[in-house]
């Protein structure tokens, strides 16, 4: 069969208007692009993204990289959890305004990544965030990761992902694909992710959500890919009987999450301990001296500043030199 020839069309870059990337959550979730949130089943990735959706529905921020003044509309598609008994109760527990969160009805026909109803829903709702959870359920044909690879359909999966990326760009909507990791233990996160490196290639940001060894209720969020900005600092949240609690910055690596390795002493706690120890012998110290001591212990300047804020330490300038007042430190 003769291949249909495609007419050559060239675009001069002089005809393209430059624009900056805008962010739903800097530097983790960009508008107009695809973001992957991946992790092992039961590790909290759905809880994590549902709590982001809940915050956005009220115009609130989960983290410092989010700055909202008005509520945003969200589309959340779940192929694994019931809407009435699981999804809505979890959103309500997170304090969501469910009037701002929509679901495409799949009772008559299941949804796929290239379904025209996705675009129609984004247009009708004006959604700024679209979530597909898990992405494996929206590939069409009901195949899982391994079946896609065995059938040699990775290219088709990539083409579908590219079309979804085009939808995100057209409407400047952030699209988040939630995915289960495959069973290949010890591999790099990129290859353990969605069963196909093609998904990873099309996404501009990839977040790994996983358990923290030795901390039963703590889950880490580590960025393992970012094509648009510098990598974001790892974050963490806690899951308990009281629900979801955002912990913010956390010292852990992707290797520690993937390998089930206990992270080195939490740097935030280490920084607080350093400041408390210094406070025992000093009412105030030069900030440069404190930064030097922290650096010797592998504590970053950013983590030390966060510890300073949490402990209520104030900075004071004397003769062009900054001092940290340690005498009223919160224990």
| Domain range annotation of the chain | 21-259, 267-325
What sections of the chain are H helices per DSSP? 45-57, 88-93, 116-125, 145-150, 154-171, 189-192, 197-202, 254-259, 267-281, 287-296, 301-310
CA 99 distance to own-chain centroid: 24
CA–CA gap between residue 74 and residue 70 (Å, rounded):
13
Instruction: For the domain covering 267-325, report its CATH number.
Output: 1.10.10
Candidate CATH numbers 3.30.70.370, 1.10.10.10, 3.40.50.300, 3.30.70.1230; the one for domain 21-259: 3.40.50.300
Phi and psi torsions of 259, nearest 5°? -90, 0
Report the first-to-last Cα separation within the chain, whole angstroms.
77
Strand pairing class (321-325; 314-318): antiparallel
What's residue 191's pLDDT? 44
Q: Does residue 141 come out as left (phi exceeding 0), alpha (psi in the -120 to 50 range) or beta?
A: left
What's residue 264's pLDDT? 62
What's residue 151's pLDDT? 47
Tokens of 191: 């290859």
CA–CA gap between residue 269 and residue 199 (Å, rounded):
37
What's residue 155's pLDDT? 63
Contacts of 152 (CB under 8 A, 6+ apart): none
Phi and psi torsions of 247, nearest 5°? -100, -20
User: Which residues does the chain have with pLDDT short of 70?
Assistant: 1-3, 140-155, 182-198, 261-265, 330-331
HSE, CB side, 13 Å, CA atoms: give it for residue 43. 24
Q: Report CA-CA distances (Å) from 119 to 108, 164, 170, 322.
A: 18, 9, 10, 54
Q: Report CA-CA distances (Å) from 276 to 250, 292, 304, 310, 331.
A: 20, 16, 12, 12, 8
DSSP state of 229: S
What's residue 141's pLDDT? 53
CA–CA gap between residue 3 and residue 6 (Å, rounded):
9
CA–CA gap between residue 35 and residue 48 (Å, rounded):
14
């Amino acid at each position: 069969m003769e291949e249909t020839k495609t007419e050559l069309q060239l675009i001069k870059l002089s005809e393209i208007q430059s624009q900056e990337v805008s962010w739903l959550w800097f530097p983790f979730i960009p508008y107009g692009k695809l973001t992957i949130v991946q992790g092992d089943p039961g590790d909290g990735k759905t809880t994590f993204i549902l709590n982001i959706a809940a915050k956005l529905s009220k115009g609130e921020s989960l983290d410092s990289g989010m700055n909202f003044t008005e509520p945003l509309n969200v589309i959340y598609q779940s192929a694994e959890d019931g809407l009435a008994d699981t999804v809505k109760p979890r959103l309500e527990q997170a304090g969501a305004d469910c009037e701002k969160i929509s679901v495409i009805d799949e009772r008559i026909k299941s949804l796929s990544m290239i379904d025209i109803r996705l675009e129609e829903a984004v247009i009708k709702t004006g959604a700024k965030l679209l979530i597909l959870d898990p992405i494996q359920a929206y590939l069409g044909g009901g195949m899982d990761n391994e079946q896609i690879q065995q059938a040699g359909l990775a290219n088709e999966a990539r083409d579908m992902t590219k079309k979804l990326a085009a939808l995100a760009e057209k409407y400047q909507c952030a699209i988040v694909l939630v995915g289960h990791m495959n069973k290949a233990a010890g591999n790099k996160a990129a290859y353990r992710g969605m069963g196909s490196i093609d998904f990873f290639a099309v996404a501009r940001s990839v977040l790994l959500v996983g358990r923290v060894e030795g901390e039963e209720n703590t889950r880490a969020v580590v960025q393992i890919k970012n094509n648009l900005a510098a990598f974001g600092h790892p974050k963490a949240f806690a899951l308990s009987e009281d629900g979801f609690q955002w912990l913010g910055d956390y010292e852990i690596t992707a290797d520690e999450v993937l390998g089930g390795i206990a992270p080195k002493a939490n740097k935030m706690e280490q920084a607080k301990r350093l400041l408390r120890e210094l406070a025992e012998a000093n009412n105030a110290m030069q900030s440069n001296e404190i930064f030097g001591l922290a650096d010797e212990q592998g504590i970053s300047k950013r983590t030390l500043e966060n510890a300073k804020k949490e402990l209520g330490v104030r900075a004071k300038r004397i003769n062009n030199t900054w001092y940290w007042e340690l005498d009223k430190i919160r224990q």
